[in-house]
Amino acid sequence: MNQKLIELLKQSPSIGTILRYGDLIKLPNWYLAAGAIPTVVWNSIVSNEPEKFLHDIDIVYYDDRDISEKAEAQAEKQVRAIFPEIPHKIDVKNQARVHTWYRDKTGKSILQYPSVEAAMDMWLSVTAVGIKPMRGRYKVYAPYGLDDLFSMEVKPNRRIISAEHYRKKAAKWKSQWPELAVFDYEFGGGGTRKGQ
């Protein structure tokens, strides 16, 4: 299924460009991840243009040596300079510094994540998918597998995401892709690592 994911993502001119030239990104332990991935996959499934509803592209990385906002902004500037032709915002976030702003955004305190993968483990199963090129091949990180993504099933991950945040995000997606099956927050079906 990883190969199917890669082929679908390459249908997006913007994501295809990042996958083709991603070896130029010199951030530690980075992935192209989060909302852009389900956007492109779901658009393909329902026969939309690949970049319909694509507003930004998330690049996540992990650098606990410098968790300043300034360093993160510099990382974003560097990535943006590699891909000036991409018309979408490229949002670059150091997952080692999420704990410094998460409480202000959500009202909930969290500890520093020990890795970019640990941060992604907290996301919804359909967004907890990261991909990056590595010397002519691709590494995919998908702790919950790809079944929910390809079946268009949105399930909560109650490990960190509040009911309010989940419902708001799910309602937005449902308005864009009516074919989605959105599970109730109380269902709690997401957040189980593949193989558990």
Q: Give the tokens for residue 112.
A: 């520093």
Position 108 in a domain: yes
Position 36 in a domain: yes
pLDDT tens string for the chain (196 positions)?
A: 899 999 999 999 999 999 999 999 999 999 999 999 999 999 999 999 999 999 999 999 999 999 999 999 999 999 999 999 999 999 999 999 999 998 888 888 899 999 999 999 999 999 999 999 998 899 999 999 999 999 999 999 888 888 998 999 999 999 999 999 999 988 755 555 454 3
Position 77 in a domain: yes
Overall domain count for the chain: 1
Determine the Cα–Cα distance for residues 167 and 183; give it in Å rounded to an integer. 10
Length of the chain: 196
pLDDT score for 37: 98
Chain position carrying tokens 């937005």: 172
Determine the Cα–Cα distance for residues 52 and 143; give it in Å rounded to an integer. 26
Beta 89-94 vs 130-134: how paired, if at all?
A: unpaired
Position 110 in a domain: yes
Position 61 in a domain: yes
Chain position carrying tokens 């970019």: 116
Position 167 in a domain: no
pLDDT score for 3: 94
The pTM of this model reads: 0.92
pLDDT score for 195: 44
Position 27 in a domain: yes
Three-point CA angle 193, 160, 148, nearest 5°: 40
Cβ 12 vs Cβ 54: under 8 Å: yes
Position 179 in a domain: no
Q: What's the domain range around 65?
A: 2-144
pLDDT score for 188: 56
